[in-house]
Structure 1
Amino acid sequence: MITTLTLNAALDKTYYLQTLSIGQTNRLRDVHIEPGGKGINVAKVLHSLGLEVTAGGFIGGNNGKVISALLQDRGVGHEFIGIQGESRTCLTIIDNEREEETEILESGPNISSEDWEKICHFTDAAAKKSTIMTLSGSLPQGVPADGYGQLIDIIKQNGSKAILDSSGAALRYGLEKAPFAVKPNERELKQWLNKETLSLSEALEAGKMFIQKGIQYVCLSLGKEGALFFTRDEVFHVKAPVVNAVNTIGCGDAMVAGLAAGFYQNLPARDVILLAAACGSANAMMPQAGQVALTDLEELRKQVVVKKIDNILS
């Protein structure tokens, strides 16, 4: 089984407009509501791939009830820790005319020390029965800065494999615990390196440093430059196919789902990154985050270009 953790779950609302007019009245063409948060998006994609998955984390209030009900409707297994606060709402505005996406994200509820103890116990139990566990997204208020690091320790102690996808201090502390795999994007990598720009050679050096920390697999998603995928022995440069993108929100989460699925199925490294890249592209073709069409996925996997880079780890 695969378990995904979303410590800052959200009710995702997507507003579709012909064009967004700042300071004026805007009338929607359409609206869509989804259970969200990065780990929940991962779980939805894994469910679409036909894999056994449980979405875990924190939910609270009326939004939490809606998140749970929507996952139930979609048949996605879930087991959340209920909290006193209200799960956040995250708004994405799609401007069709400009082909732009604007995100407005609430910060989320405060997590008590008692709630944190509960999620640690949940992680301990889940790791005993899960081959893979994913840790995705921001840390809500009240969670220790090294929260992901603590959970990675628990996961590893129980023989499971942790995949980390976060940013800032949460990523930095998590990296020190050497999770099984990490997936920083370009913005997160620049933040970690304290750089305003990032060259391909600098990204290659960063990936090498992650491997030297004891992380077994590193996927760096670099926007137009594609992605770099590191194992202990090999590095691959990956170019995803060009698609007619409808909504790029959640593409990174879909990539994490592809990584988790590939590792879960014990695929060779090249096939793991092929699947992850195809999942990211397939998500971009769908109107909501955390969705892939299997027919798109199979065709896209054939179009992903993977080239091995020699000698970088020597």
Structure 2
Amino acid sequence: MARRDIDLNRCLFHYTNITCNRCQEICPQGAIHNREIDREKCDNCGLCTAVCPTGAITSDTDYDSCLTAAQKLAPQVLMCRKVSPKTMACLGALNRRLLWALAEKQPLAMDTSRCAQCNPAVQNWLAQEIAACNQALQKAGKATIKLVHVKDSAPAPQAVARRSFFRSLFHAASDTAAEIAQAQTERQYAFDGTIWLDKQDTSPCQLFPGLELTASCTACGLCTMLCPEKALVISNSEAGKKLHFNPIKCTACGLCVNNCPQSILKLLPSFAGQTEFSLQEETPPAPPADSSFTLQRG
């Protein structure tokens, strides 16, 4: 049984002027309804993690450690638990931006050869995300993601001496007891892809959202307060106020756009390079042109 939950403190549902059902819409098992995950139906594919804009999905998979471990392999390769027991349960939690961060620095290989038979929805998702990432990699002059087939890992049998046999038997009993105790302890990991991307010093590209200001901004600062990933920051200097946009942290959740008092923010499907916007501070209205008056004795 999969152990997945939704952290309502991070979920977008309690914000105004925004509706998000990405996790529910993508779940191939129909296991998510009204921000609750049916653990009996959930197959732990991770697609909900891949699309959640705020990292609100918690699970028993430590994706941060899995991705870091994949980076240390030579060559760098991503594979699921059907191939190696120390990897992520399923590759469905990956998206194009995570793949870009991995493939940007060094060549990346992936084993998706078992996905079609195991979970067609994951196969379709990964094919779409890999294709988008490869397009960006080609444009940047970098090696595209290579699809490989890794043989299932199996421990090699070893001959054991009589004395070693009884010693191993004792240790095996101890290890089994420890594993049972660990299994009874339910561990939940939160994974926010933008935090991981930021730690990798990822370069922005066409796979990330862009931002546009359609008119003069009054620098009210509401967008910076609402952004759950802190992708928007306002700075103040002698040159005036500026709005700074970080495409790596932006998940295109729409909170800033839907709650802007002036309705001047616009999210772009692809990052076009602009990260700074000059702002115009709101000034009080000027008095009427003819504001003179006289007093006259009655």
TM-score range, shorter chain: under 0.3
- TM-score of the superposed pair, with normalisation by structure 1: 0.26
Q: Which has the higher strand share?
A: 1
Under a length normalisation based on structure 2, what TM-score does the superposition of the two structures give? 0.27
Q: Larger helix proportion, structure 1 or 2?
A: 1
